[in-house]
Structure 1
């Protein structure tokens, strides 16, 4: 029982649970944003906000392609919202934070593996490289 308790209270499991709950709340937020603002804009352009009723019948079998079309549009909208409102701003913040960070690695000119900046020989392809002199 003690091992199970440790497993449940381990930091990464709790972090994963928190991320899942926040992700679900964020997904709900994005879905509501899409339903409130984006879908009406699509209706203005295309004339119909919901395509789930679209279907084609071949030899008596109904293929409801509208369900897939609606899901594909919702996925594209959700992905765009996540990219432009989460990924892009976070990338800019991380880029600004790393701007003044000291460089400690470089690429090997032979195999392009990442090696320490002061290395004289690549640890992957064993090619000799000129060490970079850093100001002391």
Structure 2
């Protein structure tokens, strides 16, 4: 029973549960956006946003490929929306934040280990760094 308590109260499990709940809520948001805005745009261009009535028949067996086609198009549209409205802006924001942080270390020119910018001798390979530090 003690091991089960440790499992339940580990940080990773709680973080994972929160991520699943937030992901489910975000999924609903993206689905609503696609259905409200992107689907009607496809209907304007293609004539209909739903292809579920498409099918073909072989020897009396019906293959309704339209449902798969609709799901595939919805998936691709959601992936594009998530990439351009979430992933790309967050990546740009993180890039700006990383650039804003001042560098505190530089690579040693001899062993390529990270050393403090003001160091005059590498603590790993003990090479003399009398030359001016590289930015």
Q: Distance in 2 between matches of 1:25 and 1:40?
A: 23
| TM-score, scaled relative to structure 2 | 0.77
Structure 2: where are the runs of 5+ without partners?
A: 114-128
- The CA distance in 2 between the partners of 1:121 and 1:13, in whole Å, is 40
1:6-48 C-alpha deviation (Å, 9 max, x unpaired): 2111111100110011001111111111111111111111111
Determine the C-alpha separation between the residues in 1 that align with 2:74 and 2:105: 43
Q: Is the 8 A contact 1:53 1:66 kept in 2?
A: yes
Compute the displacement of 1:104 (Å). Answer: 4.1
Larger Rg: 2
- The 8 Å contact of residues 118 and 133 in structure 1, kept in 2 or not, is answered as no
Dislocated runs of 4+, deviation >4 Å: none
Partner secondary structure for residue 99 of structure 1:
helix
TM-score by length of 1: 0.77
Partner of 1:68: 68
Q: Which residue of 2 aligns with 1:31?
A: 31
Deviations for 1:38-72, whole angstroms, at most 9, x for unmatched residues?
Answer: 11111111111211111011111111111111011
Figure out how many residues of one structure are paired with residues of the other and give that number: 117
Change (3 A) 1:119 1:71: same
Q: Does 1:6 align with 2:10?
A: no
Give the aligned partner of residue 134 of structure 1.
133
